[in-house]
Homo-oligomer: A and B are copies of this chain.
Amino acid sequence: MSYTYRHPRPSITTDILIFSIRERKLQVLLIQRKGEPFAGAWAIPGGFIRMDEDLVDGALRELQEEAGVTDVPLVQFRTYGRPGRDPRDRVVTVAFMALIPSGHIVARAASDASDAQWFPLTDLPALAFDHAEILADARQRLAEDVTVSVQRTGRVAFDFLPAEFSLSQAQSVFEILRGEELDKRNFRKWLLSTWSIEETGGQTSGTGHRPAALYRLTPGTDAKDLPG
């Protein structure tokens, strides 16, 4: 019984989709590739996994190496392994995504990429490999999580907000994700009654107008269980 396998193996990479809301638009972080194939093309940041690291750790490492980004909570999203998706060789890629508050990330081109930049989903460049497909899938998954999950808007919306946020900030994020304007009073009533949110005591300042009270999401707002 052979314990060491000699069968051919695909390579494994990770790809990481970082979404954020900037300038009131949903945007994604892309890098410009340095090496072949697709040198010079825009792509989702990512790269080969090492033998001794878990998938998510490889993704975090690549994110650091290519975009100078650290400290983002990654959620695994989907794995792509169609033969031919990489022109060099059989490559299976595990895609992760992260939803982050705006301003929390300063993306700079790091060693493995020649540039790193935010793109609104409405205005994307051509992408390397099957990255356009991956991005489209991620966008749809996000839409499902956001719009379908809790009848109106799911808790993923909070991932786009900083830990402490004003109700107006929250409303803005929910509006962008849902693509429609919401009534201020109804939104506040709904947010406070649905999501167990507490006032922090802090206020916004230096805004040029009346300051807003700050709130935070009390931890522990998750899915229910299935019997059996």
Interface residues in chain A, defined as those with a beta carbon under 8 Å from any beta carbon in chain B: 1, 3-5, 7-12, 25-26, 35-36, 48-49, 51-55, 76, 78-83, 88-90, 92, 94, 120-122, 139-140, 142-144, 146-151, 154, 176-177, 179, 223-228
Q: Is the CB of B12 within 8 A of A143?
A: no
For residue A149, which residues in chain B have a CB less than 8 angstroms away from its CB? 148-149
CA distance A49 to B144 in the complex (A): 30
Copies in the complex: 2
For residue A7, which residues in chain B have a CB less than 8 angstroms away from its CB? 11, 48
CB distance from A174 to the nearest CB of B (A): 12
For residue A154, which residues in chain B have a CB less than 8 angstroms away from its CB? 148
When C-beta atoms are compared, the residue in chain B nearest to A9 turns out to be B9
When C-beta atoms are compared, the residue in chain B nearest to A26 turns out to be B228
Which of B35, B94, B150, B179 sits near A227, CB closer than 8 Å? Answer: B179
CB distance from A65 to the nearest CB of B (A): 16
Given A7-B48, A9-B9, A78-B76, A92 contacting B55 (CB threshold 8 A) = yes
| Of listed A1, A12, A82, A226, residue having the most chain B CB within 10 A | A226
Q: Is the CB of A52 within 8 A of B83?
A: yes
When C-beta atoms are compared, the residue in chain B nearest to A53 turns out to be B83
For residue A3, which residues in chain B have a CB less than 8 angstroms away from its CB? 36, 88-89
Q: Is the CB of B54 within 8 A of A143?
A: no
Which of B35, B51, B122, B144 sits near A228, CB closer than 8 Å? Answer: B122
For residue A140, which residues in chain B have a CB less than 8 angstroms away from its CB? 223, 225-226
CB distance from A5 to the nearest CB of B (A): 6
Given A89-B5, A228-B120, A49 contacting B11 (CB threshold 8 A) = no
CB distance from A212 to the nearest CB of B (A): 25
For residue A151, which residues in chain B have a CB less than 8 angstroms away from its CB? 150-151
For residue A49, which residues in chain B have a CB less than 8 angstroms away from its CB? 10, 81, 92
